Amino acid sequence: MPDVRVLLVLATSTGGVGRHVQSLAAGLTSRGCDVTVAGPASTRAAFDLPSYEVVEIGSAPHPARDAVAATRLRALSKEADVVHAHGLRAGALAVLSPKPVVVTLHNAVTGRIAAVLERLVARRAAVLLAAGADLAERARAVGARDVRLAPVAAPAQVATGLDPGLGHPLVLAVGRLHPQKGYDVLLRARSAWPEAVVAVAGDGPLADALRAQAPDVRWLGARSDVADLLAAADVVVLPSTWEARSLTAQEALRAGRPLVASAVGELPALVGDGAVLVPPGDAEALAAAVRRLLGDPAAAAALGEQGRAVAAGWPSEDDTVEQVLGVYRELLR
């Protein structure tokens, strides 16, 4: 008999949520759990996920499609002991299951409909795992019964040592091409480093607009060699409007790369003094911070080593899996 039969549920993802679910599925499977993942066909194409069942859960509510998805998830949950949804959209459909439901909230929500879904998820989930303290506080405020912080460790990545051939100095951003990531700020700041190659690894809904707006930027699309890109970067930037335990920030610090990031969400608590933090939306502050690091390689190297030291104290992938598995077992007692 498997330790626990788990149905992991996620919506459309091209970034951190999908990678976290991929890591969690592998870790749970290695510990004897029977894991099924349910989500859109596009998410299956983006990630190597085991035992995948296609359930179309889009990034925005769609009554007819959502009714079909909810019915499908209820049917799949009959073969599970625990349902674990990732993100608000997946959580809002998963909490209709008769089985114990865990929901991990990875991102802040905005808008009236999202607020309604947030209250539904908070009140119906057996356990709500929050990727940041602000998410946890908000969940409690809207009625969540059991809220816990989730480590959400970045999956381990090993650089191959191959040079991606982008040139130097290299200013790198990694993440979904989405308004949350603040690429408009990066584009306004980039004129301060005319000697630098500015590259962005990731895909998402803003891809076409960003490529048209800034053809001089190296838009790399989704990449499987992020570890090599980070190793080649002179400075990594994360100009987001909000972040929880950003996987990009974790990867940059673990790789010993100097990071300039927005002082938003969970980032200040996550990186401590291991990165340069600037006000969100402040292109001048971002430009100045990156320019200082590009002009002072010794300071950049020292910041990278400080970041590596901070990262050494973070929870690991194993810690994340053990915490989640502990929650499942607790619910099944």
Percentage above 70 pLDDT, the chain: 99
Same fold, 5-153+316-332 and 170-313: yes
HSE-CB for 35 with a 13 A CA cutoff: 23
Distance CA 277, CA 239 (A): 9
Distance CA 207, CA 222 (A): 11
Domain covering 5-153+316-332 in this structure, CATH number? 3.40.50.2000
pLDDT over 60 at 1, yes or no: no
pLDDT band with cut points at 50, 70 and 90 for residue 108: confident
Q: Which CATH number fits domain 170-313: 3.40.50.620, 3.40.50.2000, 3.30.70.100, 3.50.50.60?
A: 3.40.50.2000
Q: Burial, 215: exposed, middle or buried (Cβ in 10 Å; 0-12, 13-18, 19+)?
A: exposed
| DSSP output for 320-333 | HHHHHHHHHHHHH-
pLDDT over 90 at 3, yes or no: no
Per residue in 163-199, pLDDT (tens digit) is 888 999 999 999 999 999 999 999 999 999 999 999 9
With beta carbons less than 8 A apart as the criterion, state whether 266 and 133 touch. yes
Joined together, the tokens standing for residue 121 give 């998820």
pLDDT band with cut points at 50, 70 and 90 for residue 160: confident
pLDDT over 90 at 156, yes or no: no
Question: Kind and range of the H or E element at 212?
Answer: helix 207-213
Q: Burial, 229: exposed, middle or buried (Cβ in 10 Å; 0-12, 13-18, 19+)?
A: buried
Distance CA 250, CA 30 (A): 24
Residue 78: CB atoms within 10 Å:
10
Can you give the pLDDT at residue 109?
80
Q: Are strands 127-130 and 147-149 parallel, antiparallel or unpaired?
A: parallel
| Domain spans, the chain | 5-153+316-332, 170-313
pLDDT over 90 at 161, yes or no: no
Dihedral angle over CA of 291, 297, 300, 305, nearest 10:
170
Per residue in 276-296, pLDDT (tens digit) is 999 999 999 999 999 999 999
Distance CA 260, CA 249 (A): 9
Distance CA 130, CA 148 (A): 6
26-40, 86-100, 153-167 — which is least confidently predicted? 153-167
